[in-house]
Amino acid sequence: MRNIYYLITLSFLFWSFGLEAQNVVTISKTKALTKVSEHNVSLKISAEEFKQARADYRQTNAVFLPNITASHTGMATTNPLMAFGSKVNQEILTASDFDPVLLNDPSQIENFETKLEIQQPLLNFDGFYHRKAAKSKMDAMSLQTQRTAEYLEFEVDKAYMQLQLAYKGVAVLEKALEAANANKKLADNSFNQGYLQRSDILNVEVRVTEVQNQLQMAKSNVLNASNYLSFLMNDETEAVYKPIDSLRVLSPTIEMAMISENRSDIKAMAMATDAYKAMSQSDKMAFLPRLNAFGNYFLYDDEIFQGNSNGYMFGAQLSWDIFQGSKRFGKAQKSRAEFEKSKLEYEQYVSKSNLEFNKAKRMFTDAENKLNLNTLALAQSEESLRIRTNRFKEGLEKTSDLLMAETQYAQKQLEYYQTIFEYNYALAYLQFLTK
């Protein structure tokens, strides 16, 4: 048993040395928040999604701005109609060209046409509402990006508190290991003097081994918390972070009120509903005619890029798609159903948010009560350990009772700090829900 004990102790020491050899970096919550805002991948993805929505909105500028195209076409033909028309456009028609023989069987003629075309929308009712829908979608994505930033701030709060808790666990178990080793030394002396039995020594060694295992797990928790913080900051150095401040009870800074419908994610849902409403109206307006103006300017010549003759044409076009095989009816019904669905989703989201808020308030109250009880239990277990340790030194206390008191005190310390974490987490969650 003693050989196993020493083997475990040696393994633990090597593991601890490996942890301490890693790059330990002190960090504050403010610095972590800054790095997350600059490097977090989720935040970058959300920003790109907003850019996509903004690009979609900018495409709808076509509802007001003209469409301008330019082209240059070269051709050669013996087609009677095309050949005669090309000569007319080039302004080279002569009286001899009206000869029926030449009209029916013309020689090959080359024609090069430069064309500048402008199309200007005047009345496009469905396009107006489509633009409005794109604007609502862009605003919704902007609010969603803001909510993503707020969520990541909450995640940093949680990760930082987890890191603080992990270090508190290490500190508690290091003291517990120190106390267990001190008790083992006392037990060894008492055993050598014949006051304790071999079974008592084994119990003490088992306790030391248990604390070593718990300390190893606590240091693993430090690594896990550091890795998660690195993930949030998009840091690939795999450093072991150490918070500059210790875990402590935070003071409430919010009022226990209902959540606001002006919260960024709720407003984003409302904007999305507005977008669906505008799309539904756009599909309805597709039944109305469209009015567009147009203008063309032409340059003609029988040589490339010359243009000795020119002409223009302008006008307006009123077009109306009267029937498209009931396609528009189905599209309008679909967009209407999507709008109604979005309204229900908004109501459900607000209701669920209120449910989460009420749940978070109860969680905070429970954590507050638990913190008060654990504070009292910690003080009681500490006093109990002090009394039993003094009695054990005088030979008036059983080894098993001392080990039980020692175990209970370490457990109450860990529970106390875990409760502080739960209290602070509940408070941070309430702040996140009420932003």
Residue 185 falls inside a structural domain = yes
Phi, psi of 323 (to 5 degrees): -150, 130
Residue 194 falls inside a structural domain = yes
Task: Give the C-alpha separation, 369 to 402, whole Å.
Answer: 29
> pLDDT truncated to tens, each residue of the chain (435 aa)?
444 444 445 444 444 544 454 678 999 999 999 999 999 999 999 999 999 999 999 999 999 999 999 999 999 999 999 999 888 888 888 888 888 888 888 889 999 999 999 999 999 989 999 999 999 999 999 999 999 999 999 999 999 999 999 999 999 999 888 888 887 887 788 778 776 678 878 888 888 898 899 999 999 999 999 999 999 999 988 789 999 999 999 888 666 567 888 999 999 999 999 999 999 999 898 888 999 999 999 998 888 888 788 889 999 999 888 877 788 888 889 999 999 999 999 999 999 999 999 999 999 999 999 999 999 999 999 898 888 888 877 777 777 777 788 888 889 999 999 999 999 999 999 999 988
Residue 351 falls inside a structural domain = yes
How would you classify residue 109: left for phi > 0, otherwise alpha for psi between -120 and 50, otherwise beta? beta
Residue with tokens 């370490």: 410
Domain that holds residue 191: 2-39+140-286+333-433
Residue 101 falls inside a structural domain = no
| Domain CATH code at residue 268 | 1.20.1600.10
Residue 124 falls inside a structural domain = no
The count of domains in the chain is 1
Report the 10 Å Cβ neighbour count for 203.
17
DSSP state of 248: -
Q: Which of 127, 132, 147, 129 shows the shortest CA–CA distance to 50?
A: 147
- Residues in Cβ contact with 382 at an 8 Å cutoff, skipping those fewer than 6 apart: 409, 412
Residue 300 falls inside a structural domain = no
Is 247 in contact with 158 (CB distance < 8 Å)?
Answer: no
Residue 403 falls inside a structural domain = yes
Residue 228 falls inside a structural domain = yes
Query: What pLDDT does residue 13 have?
Result: 47
Task: Give the C-alpha separation, 184 to 402, whole Å.
Answer: 11
